A and B are shown apart, each in its own frame.
Chain A
Amino acid sequence: MRTDLWRSSVVVIALLLALPVVTVLSFLLQPSGEVWRHLVATVLADYITNSLLLMIGVGCGTLLLGVTTAWLTSRYRFPGARLFSWALLLPLAMPAYIIAYTYTGMLDFSGPLQSALRDQFGWSYGDYWFPEIRSIGGAVTMLSLVLYPYVYLLVRAAFLEQSLGAIEVSRSLGAGPWRTFLQVALPLARPAVITGLSLALMETLADFGTVQYFGVDTFTTGIFRTWFGLGDSAAAAQLSALLLLFLFSLILLERWSRRQARYHQSGQRWRTPPRQPLSRGRGIVALILCLLPLLFGFLLPAGQLLIWAWRSASHSVDLQFVTLTLNSLALAAAAALLTLLLALLLAYGRRLRGGWAVHSSLQIAGLGYAVPGTVIAVGVMLPFAWIDNTLDGWLRSQFGISSGLLLSGTLVALLFAYAVRFLAVSLNAVEGGLGRIRPTMDDAARSLGLRPLQVLRQIHFPLLRGTALTALLLVFVDVLKELPATLILRPFNFNTLAVRAYELAADERLADAAPAALMIVVAGIGPVILLSRAIARERCPESPSLLTNRRSDHAA
């Protein structure tokens, strides 16, 4: 009987988490022929082209930035390498829409840089070429700058885990560092590359703030416009369905990568390769290569925010600011814990009971990460309100009492939406971590009389501490930055830093928005640093048979 309990609870939880997406897709059943035809005739081609270009661009951008920096910091010694190994994660704390605001403030036609150029050289409009920041290229740049850390994070871990043997064999067979990188290290890290890339691309697909601000019409802005502007939820659902099609191809990619991963981590003994020192010239090149993403993804925009915040602090920072910060932190913490719990249950359930039902429901549950927050929010709002109203109606008719709205408009609904939206992040991390624990461990523990949950608590939890921390912190930072679902679902008199920053920025008061934006970044930095330390500790595999070996290695 217990076997079915695990399987069915995984399926039930996964289906619950899939509820919002399913709710939105159920609008497909409503007729919308006429609006859909209008979209096809006018804007759909633009949505598809722009979304594709955006994904391709961000894919290339995050790969380029993420893999290069991961390789350099994991393999070489050069000035600042240790600092970069964690500092390169900092752009993760920067919400994409906020980096977009800051760069627009700096680089726009009427911004300080171009104005200074015009004054200096006596140019006027049309006399010179300057990249237009509010363009698809601009959006690709912004998103790449803040999303490359996903690739960096996972690929660096993979590089660090690669056995010295493979690299040494490659070098001893006469392959140069480039060939070793391209033909040995990179292919070995492929699962990590693809997982990092798919996280970045899912986030790209779901982005609304940046593309809206830059005037790039993608699926996300199209869904919003169709749903609310044209008032046609069915056509909006059709757009969402198309978006999910995009996503399914990504998931296939990801699943394929998982298969590789299992093959790759066959549990060989290994040793972290020592970092090679670089010559002075090459060291400086490496330093510059690592400095660039950090500079443009974090230091410059944070500096701009600081300048703005300084200017507006006197009238935009008040006592309420403390409440906003606490709200943001509490929400992010709660959502991170909840998501981690769910991911642990789901991932462990899958480990215990395979089968297509468990597999596919997990895939569906992870969909939320690529779905725009607005769509998730509406998908949460409708079924919750339906449950509330049905219960209330039944109580009224049976007992003459009213329960009102129990879930709608509460933090429960909001936390649920976060769980739906960010489960994929947690799940990815936890599954990766669990995959590294050999099933023989489970068997041994079970044969010694532990029940499945006890195995999870007593064996897996301690081994998973690093992974769990990664999952927690990634979701924490994501929730800090989250805007659309928070905006729609939050209760009365409850604001967060992201809401405050958005409201002022949407009113075109960038300087006034800066203190809240800066606070989001500051609140995110702590977790990001913790994260990098956790990864540094996690460098060693978590299979206990190797634990003792590793300790002696360190001691030696």
Chain B
Amino acid sequence: MFRPLVATLCTLLLLLPTAQAEEVNLYSARKEALIKPLLDRFTAETGIRVNLVTGKADALLQRLQSEGRNSPADLLLTTDAGRLYRAKQAGVLQSLHAPELTALVPARYRDQDGYWFGLSLRARPIFYVPGRIDPAHIDSYEALADPKLKGRICIRSSNNIYNQSLVASMIAAHGERETGAWAEGLVANLARRPTGGDRDQIKAAAAGLCDIAVANSYYYGAMLASDDAAERGAAEKVALHWPNQQGRGAHVNISGIGVTAAAKHPQAAQQLIAYLLSDAAQQWYAEVNQEYPLRDDLPLSSELQRWGAFKADSVAMDQLGEHNSAALRLMDRAGWR
């Protein structure tokens, strides 16, 4: 019994990944379903094989850091700017001098020194139930702290990066003290303890638990396009409202990518970034995941057009990362779990 045990174990250990000639290695915080199809197309077009590990951004960053200069990863892809900022601070990215990329990406959606580039835009508007809420009352994120809205708002936990970034953008606009007071006001207005994801907030509003939900727009889009009638129905009951249009604009974050400091295939890595910024890839994000293309020279899909044009907050993406930790503590203090 002993020998077969050992033999089986050794055989299984030999199932290690094998290397290929033309390849590029990607650590991606974007889930496989939302990146693999694009990578496959890239491989079909260029013949460069893309090796993929998906995971949570923080864990991938930790992995990059501990692997150091021997890290096999050529690229780090995250779904928020805060983690790219953190990766740059940690010294695991390298700067890229690629005029063809900088020309494509608007300056505020890329790192000034070329450490990372945005790929798609993720907006966080406010949803409301028409008839129960006058959109004039939710014209800004700031208004969500108004005591008039007591018990009427649904928002997810502060554990989530989308809320952390939103609060970081508020800190950038108003400073910590004022944002702290705002967070307390918001928590006092919540209809329930924050639970669930973004879709759950929209569903709760549609079901009458609250009248206002804060959620990323692509979840709303996915619900509208769902095969599940209940989900579609819930999304159809709410309306999307762009806040802060008179002021700094609605909160947006990016998904973005950077070449690692340890990259062994920098050429191929740059090629992949260029591909992800190409017309086809940019439109793919909009069609498959209802995210806004990052390039402003591309037409929006009809669905995105239906939601109306909006002004996006022009705060530098760096700021979201810089204020992330402060945002978290502030939410801890406000009791925003």
Contact = CB atoms under 8 A, between A and B. Distances in A.
Given A134-B195, A491-B53, A330 B15 contact: yes
A412 B200 CA distance: 39
A405 B72 contact: yes
Contact of A492 (B15, B52, B69, B329): B52
Contact of B12 (A118, A124, A330, A386): A330
Contacts of B70: 385, 388-389, 392, 402, 404-405, 408
A112 interface: yes
Given A377-B59, A404-B70, A405-B72, A334 B9 contact: yes
Nearest to B66: A385
A338 B5 CA distance: 8
Interface string A483-496: 00001101111110
A125 B159 contact: no
B108 to A, nearest CB: 24
A215 B9 contact: no
B152 to A, nearest CB: 11
Nearest to A502: B31
B335 to A, nearest CB: 8
Contacts of A175: none
Nearest to A226: B328
Interface stretch (B111-119, B205-213, B277-285, B307-315): B205-213
A385 B92 CA distance: 15
A133 B314 CA distance: 40
Given A110-B206, A492-B52, A507 B67 contact: no
A115 B219 CA distance: 21
A461 B2 contact: yes
A457 B12 CA distance: 23
> Size band of the A side of the interface?
35 or more
Contacts of B234: 110
Contacts of B68: 385, 389
A409 interface: yes
A405 B67 contact: yes
Nearest to A340: B5
A30 interface: no
Given A38-B329, A229-B164, A411-B16, A215 B196 contact: yes
Interface string B193-224: 11111111001101111000000000100100
Given A38-B329, A493-B51, A334 B12 contact: yes
B236 interface: no
B71 interface: yes
Nearest to A388: B70
A508 B198 contact: yes
A179 interface: no
A215 B197 CA distance: 10
B22 interface: no
B63 interface: yes
A494 B17 contact: yes
A398 B54 CA distance: 36
A106 to B, nearest CB: 12
Contacts of A408: 66-67, 70
B58 interface: yes
Contact of A457 (B2, B31, B34): B2
B103 interface: no
A221 B159 contact: yes
A97 B31 CA distance: 18
B198 A412 contact: no
A377 B62 CA distance: 10
Contacts of B69: 389
Given A221-B159, A488-B63, A337 B5 contact: yes
B195 A215 contact: yes
Given A43-B332, A488-B55, A214 B199 contact: no
A381 B329 contact: no
A409 B33 contact: no
Given A217-B337, A411-B16, A491-B16, A507 B31 contact: yes
A504 interface: yes
B232 to A, nearest CB: 13
Nearest to A512: B33
B98 to A, nearest CB: 25
A8 B230 CA distance: 62
B52 A409 contact: no
Given A225-B159, A341-B6, 5 more contacts: A215-B194, A374-B59, A487-B55, A492-B25, A507-B34
Closest 3 CB pairs of A and B: A228-B58, A215-B195, A110-B203
Interface of A: 38-39, 41-43, 46, 104, 108-110, 112, 114-115, 118, 124-125, 134, 212-215, 217, 221, 224-225, 227-231, 311-312, 330, 333-334, 337-338, 340-341, 374, 377-378, 381-382, 385-386, 388-389, 392, 402, 404-405, 408-412, 415, 457, 461, 465, 487-488, 490-495, 499-500, 503-504, 506-509, 511-512
6 contacts: A46-B337, A108-B200, A378-B59, A409-B67, A465-B1, A503-B32
